Structure 1
Amino acid sequence: MRKFIITALLACCLQVSAQQLSYYLPANVSYNSSVPTPKSVVGHDVGEWHITHDRLVTYMKTVDAASDRVTLTVTGTTHEGRQQLALFITTPANHAKLESIRQQHLQLSDPVKSTSLNTADMPAVVWIGCSIHGNEPSGANMSLLLIYHLAAAQGKAIDELLENTVIILDPSFNPDGLNRFSNWVNMHKSATLVSDPNTREYNEVWPGGRTNHYWFDLNRDWLPAQQPESQNRLKIFHDWRPNILTDHHEMGSNSTFFFQPGVPSRVNPNTPKKNQQLTGAIGNYHAKYLDSIGSLYFTKEGYDDFYYGKGSTFPDIHGSIGILFEQASSRGHVQQTENGLLTFGFTIRNQFVTALSTLEAARNMRKELLDYQRQFYQDVKTEAAASAVKAYVFGDAYDQSRNALFLEMMKRHKIEIYENKQALDADGKSFKPGSSWIVPTNQSQFKLVKTIFEKTLNYEDSLFYDITSWTFPLAMGLPSAELKTVPTLGNSVDDVKKPTGSIIGSSSKYAYAFEWDDFYAPKLLYALQSKGVITKVASQQFESVTSTGNKKFTFGTIVIPVAIQSKTADDIQRIIETNVAATGVQVYALNNGLSVSGIDLGSGSLVATRTPRILMLGGNGTSSNDAGEIWHMLDQRMKIPSSLIELDRFGSANISSYNIIVMPEGSYGNMEKAEQDKLRAWISNGGTVLAFEGAGRFLASAGITRTIYRSADGKTDTTLMLPYNMRSDEMRAREMPGSIFEARIDHTHPLCYGFRTKTMSIFKANTLFMDQNNSPYDSPVLLSDNPLQSGYLHKSYVDKVKGTAVVNIENIGRGKVITYSDNMNFRAFWFGTSKLFLNALFF
């Protein structure tokens, strides 16, 4: 039987007493006794317990009150109401002129103003960011040491550092996740420490502490910025544009320590070569500091800098240097690994040492970093002038809400946008004033604009750490086009105005109608249903007389007959008025049932809508990220409640009250035969299952559906004859990290209500290729014959993907299974496909 022994030395490292802060802190440095130590405030030594977020905030505020080197700002709050902090650390003299330092620093981003700046006299700006993944806590715990050191250390070295540097410390990028994880490991810590990797302390239950409240990976949200934590953080980033931003992470327990530059061939081509050279130069400082304490490390392998939505890459497109640190994770307090016993204190020390090495590099390379940022934006101006694309135009004439969501996202990134003043035809699309906008490329954010709008098909490498394309107009389902000349620009968009809903025609004693195009139409429909209002959906087109003239209503229009309601006409009007204001949807008052053309309002083609009562499966065997994206869409966007039941409880749960079961991506290998039979019987009795990605494949393998999946054919290509040491690269090149594909749609089908185009863009991050069902009417969304729009696709999948089904519908008894090959709610910004999911709830 294997024995795990905790030695006296290990206990010494873990249970750091006040005098043993020397385990972490630099030698031969004296500290100001008026600045409290971490233990004196939080009640335990650094590394003895995992810091909870409330105690972390308390210590940061205490140091702020005790030190004239620190100014603390609350940048916002999380979904769970926890405060996000930014601590500005520099000399008292710099604090006295901090705003002028900031304003001057921002001039580096202005090619006109930056030429006159004397960078020899300017401080560098360094942002230290910690633990964006909550269960990678060594960074957040390190921040206790860092703020203490920077506030209390005395001597010439710290004075010179602070005089020449403004340091921004974010002690916890992800407060909700950090708190979830710290509670887990602390509640399972034994007084006699256990290092067995099998013990509960090191094995979180689903969904774990990595993510935020809605189970989003915040390190993928820097660019989309759909979560409040990201939006709060971006305000500080764009207010300061730091020269260096460090992102402190953890990785597998059997690893060592990683720092960038990472793999040279996996850097986004929009990132200048100089960026990687500077990253390598800074890396020499990390190596020196880690060598001094004997820590093992690696660099130039494993990780990449391609997707701009990560904390280590997002700065690179802003003239900054983003640096990823990955520390082997103890996952608790001490764990047996292939490299021996890994203590929590050791992981904290590595993060602290590399924070110090970053600051040393910033002090010594200060002018070079400032000059690089200035040159970056001067080069941007030159690149923009040379670009064949002079502007982008975008906008959906039928959905002002999606337009506003895209505008809001770009304005968070300080992108210049203008109203379109004239009718434009470009790339086979028409753009009209009032529903379209112009984004010129001749602006300081040219590179960011480019990466938001561009489509990419050619890559230097075939291995990726994250997605390979994120073209936002395709993601959001918005028409867009490149312009070779800049048209006459309208007003600058400074503040995005949310669409305002209203009743057109004031009131009606007969009926109301609203179209399904608007992103928030499902929110309005559910709000009406929840108030007991009877609603119907038009499966055919019709034209009615309104107060503004004849109006043509298309497939999916929601009709609210007044006379059949249990409420008075005045009550119906009041309910509609209240809810259109909260959704921005336009509702039309109709005063008679005789249509000018098409179906009349008493037609059988007006079908009763279903009020969804949703059960979502979760827990082990399902993806928490995918489940969280669905939960977020329903809860935050549409205000539709859903009940989450873990797979382990499904067998004993009473599911008779639900009419929808959502199965997020997952393997579902733990769903037993009895539970499968229970699910099959529930469907046969009239229920509808929505199964995403692997969930659909599970239902097919269980015999619940007859969906056929094409083989992904992951065999090794023997014609390559690669060396043995490259065998894993050949297999990884066959992965589908995330690309964009064109699909043909039948917009008369209930699942496609709200779409007016014949195609849509699908995000695919798997190798599931689903054949269409036997009935052509049961596969309303099919990938086209040449579907790749943007992103990487391995040659072995080119033929596999053609004509595959994105959605299949199968009748089982009185119920249905709707199978989706892909994620319809990817990372909360793929608005272009969300209605394929939402429509299944109502129609």
Structure 2
Amino acid sequence: MIRFLLAAMAAFVLPSAVLADPIEYFQVEGVAYDDAIPAPEDILGFGVGDRPIRHDQMVAYLTQIAGLSDRISMETIGYTHEHRPILFFVVTAPENQSRIEDIRQAHLASLAPGAAPSGGPAVIWLNYGVHGAESAGMDAAIPTLYHFAAAQGDAIEETLDDAVILITAIFNPDGHSRRVNHVEAFGADIPVTDPNNEQHNLWTEARTNHYWFDLNRQWLLQTQPESQAWLEQWHRWKPQVSADFHEMGTEATFYFHPGEPLRRNPLIPERARELTQGIAQYHVRFLDSEARLYTSEEGFDNFYVGKGSTYPQVNGSLGILFEIGAARGGLIESERGLVRHGENVRTHFRTSLTTVEGALAQRDAIMAYQREFFASAMQRAARDSDRAYVFSADGDPERLNLFVDLLARHDVTVNTLARDVRVNGHTYRAGEAAIVQLAQPQYTMIRSIFDRVTEFDENIFYDVSGWTLPLAYDLEYAALGRAWSSDLAGAVLRPRETGANAPARSTYGYVLRWSDYYAPRSLYRLLDHDVRVRVATENVTIPVLGGPRQFAPGAVFVPLVGQDVSHDEIYALVREAAETDGVAAFSVTSGSTPGNSPDLGDRAGFRSVDQPSVLVLFDAGIASYDAGEVWHLLDHRMNIPVTLRRKDQLGGLDWSRYTHLIIVGGGNTRLSERDATRVQQWIREDGGVVIASRQGALMAQEVFLGVEADDDDDASGDEESGERPDRRNYSDLPVDDAEHIIGGAIFAGDLDPSHPIGFGYADRFIALHRNMTETLEWPEDDPFAVPVQYNEDPLLSGYASTRRQEEIAGTPAVVAQRRGRGAVVLFADNPNFRATFRGAEKMFLNAIFFSRLISPPSGDY
């Protein structure tokens, strides 16, 4: 009765219900449904497909039916950046619900080598809405959970007896909400099916989360709260089947795994493909019954392990991708006819059911496969000559801790290093390094994280080809083959809270180590509180409590003299740097330094830095992923405020407010002639700093440095002489100047740690992400302007053709030059790629804080 009353009321207050689908459209033929479970329109006031369903409405409805059904338990497993809840549902028979923890523990225990099968229910995972613009993948959670709560009869009872179904209703609530706002903002009483209508133009903006991250690349990288929440639950259960529901271009039909046969990660057993094909037959049966168009085994690969359909496959599960041609705003024209949102939702709902059906039909075989996967992993680990990996982050324990945390999220056990060990010329020290033994169930995942792969059967990739994470974190690491012995592995090492011991009070000042990961956050906080600081420009030995200690360039000296801030306030900020940011902080006892180190009052050895004010361009051709990674790094990680501005709306800005302009890559990074002229003036006269990466760097090199790229020239050197341009260490600039005065896959780079861009690095090796084929040009007459150069044999991990490797070898990875009072810093590729290259990030932060420390040469070169 309630349903009919609400429907009658809606006829007077809602727009035309052309798109509306009553619950009967989604109910399975021949199945009775419990009237005690309200249908969506009973609560929402409209049917699924009629209009976008806001996140709060979905939360309210799904929470209500979970509370009414003894088949469903629900919990909030995390919150997004915009503080929206992420809901997780466990669906099974009431009798299973009463002993659900015992079922989970028995299932996990059955995966141990030699353990007996659990004999329990199948564990099946369904996730919806990882991309906010892909509405069918989100809304399909509603009829799915309604069906499991309300369906009656022997078939559903048997299914729920035999299965535990795990559902994350919306993976990406923030992107989902952005999509809803857009569709509603441009909605009309009469649906507009024209693809050119703005209502349908929301794909990129709504796809991502708050910081514009593609969450379907976050299964591996784990930098966002949404992915951290769902992966914790995934490993708590280790499901046997994982289904991932998406949308694709409107003109496409319907796709389901298995994927391209030749594009399978070699760590995935062929047996997984065979079992997935078995499940696929149930999708085929349903789709054929309704004469629907579909495709499988083409267009989508299973290579990059960070995607929702591939990650499960290197963790013992069957990963299944579903993609359907998007209805965009709700109803849209296509060459194959009108595409309707409600119909897409129904297709995803019904293939959710066929996934469960197909998994249960092969239940014993799939359970045996999962157990064999982990047993085989242990056997391969026992035969592996590497035995273990040891790794460290010299001078930056927090970066090591972040990597340990990443491994823990992938259920990888890490141990402390119990004694010093020397491998490949590097000494890893007990108490500072960690070790991962390969002989553990997550052997396959460990291999996917640590391996460097540079040879491939096929060089076509849907996503990145190289993701060796120790390189991304700039760790010293090595395989322990002959050097391995069991006494190297100490206690289990778990992630710890960030923090270090605060120094004692000083009567002279304090020094902060710049190599620590969160040192930029501490420095900005000091500057934001009007504390004057000085930064070391060379190696220096400083007298601190406990005895003199050597510090590398970039060390932050906070004197007590000459401050407008009280000594108590300064100490509180230094203490916060240590205890909150984990930055090593020391109490200075004297301004007189031993040996040849510059004294703390030396103007050349210690330079003052100013508080940065950062302007980041986005939109109008700028890649949102790249811009979002900068925004996330500065705002979320380093607590540095960022002004976001659309690239084509720079007119009227008060440029004196800003110290730094950041231009990342994209399809069109070029500024208007008027804006480029104004930025040129801001650099030269106001001391502004441009930091640019990828296509932004190519544009900035031409516009702001006056270097024209010449495709005909040899990018790696002088075409006529065959010689490479002169390149010198920045630390040699004073001497070399005086001599002439009368009176980018993962690529390896050579980094000059004496250059301000290299401050805080322990050695010259740096791993750089690379997905650009274009190269930066060598600066003329300034051999100190290339703080990072690609190595002669640059490829570390991933695919790059021999031609591309030769073109990139020896070219500048970073160019940093003064221009008037300002500077231009160019990155050949993205140093902040997916918030994961924590080693390269420091160069970017150095460009923000230290770019004005760069001195131009005055010698004749």
Task: Please report the TM-score for the alignment, with normalisation by the length of structure 2.
Answer: 0.91
3-state DSSP class of the match of 2:301?
A: coil
Partner of 1:136: 134
Q: Distance in 1 between matches of 2:91 and 2:713?
A: 53
Partner of 1:8: none
Partner of 1:67: 69
Q: CA deviation at 1:461?
A: 1.1
Asked if 1:659 corresponds to 2:659, the answer is: yes
Q: Distance in 1 between matches of 2:438 and 2:170?
A: 35
3-state DSSP class of the match of 1:551?
A: strand
Letter in 1 for 2:569: D
Q: CA deviation at 1:232?
A: 0.7
Partner of 1:637: 637
3-state DSSP class of the match of 2:333?
A: strand
Q: For 1:201-212, what aligned pairs fall within 5 Å after superposition? A: 201-204=199-202, 208-212=205-209
CA deviation vs aligned residue, 1:652-691 (integer Å, no higher than 9, x gap): 2222210111112223467322122122211122100101
Q: For 1:267-278, what aligned pairs fall within 5 Å after superposition? A: 267-278=264-275
Decide which of 335, 338, 341 is 2:338's aligned counterpart.
341
Q: Residue 211 of structure 2 contacts residue 631 of structure 2 at CA under 8 Å; is this kept in 1?
A: yes
Cα gap change, 1:83 to 1:835, in 2 (>3 Å): same
3-state DSSP class of the match of 1:589?
A: strand
Partner of 1:513: 511
Q: Residue 14 of structure 1 contacts residue 47 of structure 1 at CA under 8 Å; is this kept in 2?
A: no
Q: For 1:768-783, what aligned pairs fall within 5 Å after superposition? A: 768-774=774-780, 775-783=782-790
Q: Indicate the larger mover: 673-682 or 54-63.
A: 673-682
Q: Distance in 2 between matches of 1:711 and 1:643?
A: 39
Letter in 2 for 1:690: I
CA deviation vs aligned residue, 1:182-227 (integer Å, no higher than 9, x gap): 121122221111100001101128x611111111111001111111
Q: CA deviation at 1:261?
A: 0.9
CA deviation vs aligned residue, 1:748-779 (integer Å, no higher than 9, x gap): 00000001211110010121211222212101
Q: Distance in 1 between matches of 2:185 and 2:289?
A: 35
Cα gap change, 1:390 to 1:363, in 2 (>3 Å): same
Partner of 2:97: 95
Asked if 1:752 corresponds to 2:758, the answer is: yes
Q: Residue 108 of structure 1 contacts residue 373 of structure 1 at CA under 8 Å; is this kept in 2?
A: no
Q: Residue 702 of structure 2 contacts residue 709 of structure 2 at CA under 8 Å; is this kept in 1?
A: no
Q: Distance in 2 between matches of 1:493 and 1:709?
A: 55
Q: CA deviation at 1:260?
A: 0.9
Cα gap change, 1:627 to 1:440, in 2 (>3 Å): same
Partner of 1:698: 699
Partner of 2:819: 812
Cα gap change, 1:489 to 1:447, in 2 (>3 Å): same
Partner of 1:43: 45
Q: CA deviation at 1:615?
A: 0.8
Partner of 1:263: 260
Q: Distance in 2 between matches of 1:560 and 1:692?
A: 32
Following TM superposition, the consecutive aligned residue runs of length 4 or more in structure 1 with deviations greater than 6 angstroms are none
Partner of 1:688: 689
Cα gap change, 1:37 to 1:711, in 2 (>3 Å): farther
Q: Distance in 1 between matches of 2:797 and 2:282?
A: 38
Partner of 1:786: 793
Q: Distance in 1 between matches of 2:494 and 2:55?
A: 34
Q: Distance in 1 between matches of 2:490 and 2:17?
A: 62
Q: Distance in 1 between matches of 2:401 and 2:712?
A: 41
Q: Residue 14 of structure 1 contacts residue 343 of structure 1 at CA under 8 Å; is this kept in 2?
A: no
Q: Distance in 2 between matches of 1:382 and 1:564?
A: 66
Q: For 1:452-601, what aligned pairs fall within 5 Å after superposition? A: 452-484=449-481, 485-493=484-492, 495-504=494-503, 506-597=504-595, 598-601=597-600
Decide which of 830, 833, 838 is 2:845's aligned counterpart.
838
Q: CA deviation at 1:89?
A: 0.9
3-state DSSP class of the match of 1:583?
A: coil
Q: Distance in 2 between matches of 1:585 and 1:357?
A: 53
Asked if 1:52 corresponds to 2:54, the answer is: yes
Q: Distance in 2 between matches of 1:349 and 1:587?
A: 59
Q: Residue 19 of structure 2 contacts residue 331 of structure 2 at CA under 8 Å; is this kept in 1?
A: no
Q: For 1:187-266, what aligned pairs fall within 5 Å after superposition? A: 187-204=185-202, 208-266=205-263
Q: Distance in 1 between matches of 2:25 and 2:642?
A: 49
Partner of 2:675: 675
Partner of 1:716: none
Partner of 1:731: none
Q: Distance in 1 between matches of 2:710 and 2:663?
A: 18
Q: CA deviation at 1:702?
A: 4.1
CA deviation vs aligned residue, 1:243-270 (integer Å, no higher than 9, x gap): 1111101111111111111111111101
Q: Residue 543 of structure 2 contacts residue 591 of structure 2 at CA under 8 Å; is this kept in 1?
A: no
Q: CA deviation at 1:469?
A: 1.2
3-state DSSP class of the match of 2:76?
A: strand
Partner of 1:724: none
Q: Residue 544 of structure 2 contacts residue 590 of structure 2 at CA under 8 Å; is this kept in 1?
A: no
Q: CA deviation at 1:610?
A: 2.3
Q: Distance in 2 between matches of 1:576 and 1:701?
A: 42
Q: CA deviation at 1:14?
A: 4.7
3-state DSSP class of the match of 1:340?
A: coil
Q: Residue 773 of structure 1 contacts residue 809 of structure 1 at CA under 8 Å; is this kept in 2?
A: no
Q: Distance in 1 between matches of 2:699 and 2:253?
A: 37
Q: Residue 537 of structure 1 contacts residue 558 of structure 1 at CA under 8 Å; is this kept in 2?
A: yes
Q: Residue 610 of structure 1 contacts residue 841 of structure 1 at CA under 8 Å; is this kept in 2?
A: no
CA deviation vs aligned residue, 1:445-489 (integer Å, no higher than 9, x gap): 111111111111111111001111111110000100000124414
Q: CA deviation at 1:701?
A: 4.7
Q: CA deviation at 1:596?
A: 0.7
Cα gap change, 1:17 to 1:361, in 2 (>3 Å): closer
Q: Distance in 2 between matches of 1:14 and 1:130?
A: 25
Q: Distance in 2 between matches of 1:354 and 1:128?
A: 11
Q: Distance in 2 between matches of 1:547 and 1:673?
A: 56
Q: Distance in 1 between matches of 2:216 and 2:255?
A: 17
Q: Distance in 2 between matches of 1:219 and 1:266?
A: 18
Q: Residue 189 of structure 1 contacts residue 333 of structure 1 at CA under 8 Å; is this kept in 2?
A: no
Q: Distance in 1 between matches of 2:521 and 2:783?
A: 30
Letter in 1 for 2:528: S
Show structure 2 runs of 5+ residues with no match. 1-14, 715-743, 851-861
Q: Distance in 2 between matches of 1:149 and 1:63?
A: 10
Q: Distance in 2 between matches of 1:797 and 1:33?
A: 64
Q: Distance in 2 between matches of 1:518 and 1:409?
A: 18
Q: For 1:613-632, what aligned pairs fall within 5 Å after superposition? A: 613-632=613-632
Q: Residue 556 of structure 1 contacts residue 754 of structure 1 at CA under 8 Å; is this kept in 2?
A: yes
3-state DSSP class of the match of 1:88?
A: strand
Letter in 2 for 1:111: P
Asked if 1:612 corresponds to 2:619, the answer is: no
Partner of 1:24: 26
CA deviation vs aligned residue, 1:145-169 (integer Å, no higher than 9, x gap): 1111111111121111111111111
Partner of 2:419: 422
Partner of 2:4: none
Q: Distance in 2 between matches of 1:147 and 1:186?
A: 25
Q: Distance in 2 between matches of 1:82 and 1:12?
A: 30
Q: Distance in 1 between matches of 2:434 and 2:272?
A: 32
Q: For 1:723-738, what aligned pairs fall within 5 Å after superposition? A: none
3-state DSSP class of the match of 1:237?
A: helix
Task: Please report the TM-score for the alignment, with normalisation by the length of structure 1.
Answer: 0.93
Letter in 1 for 2:496: K
Letter in 1 for 2:206: G
Q: Distance in 2 between matches of 1:487 and 1:773?
A: 52
Q: CA deviation at 1:711?
A: 7.4
Q: Distance in 2 between matches of 1:490 and 1:380?
A: 20
Q: Distance in 2 between matches of 1:17 and 1:318?
A: 38
Q: Distance in 1 between matches of 2:337 and 2:99?
A: 49
Q: Distance in 2 between matches of 1:709 and 1:339?
A: 46
Q: Residue 69 of structure 1 contacts residue 90 of structure 1 at CA under 8 Å; is this kept in 2?
A: yes
3-state DSSP class of the match of 1:466?
A: coil
Q: Distance in 2 between matches of 1:697 and 1:452?
A: 32
Q: CA deviation at 1:407?
A: 0.6
Q: CA deviation at 1:490?
A: 4.7
Q: CA deviation at 1:12?
A: 11
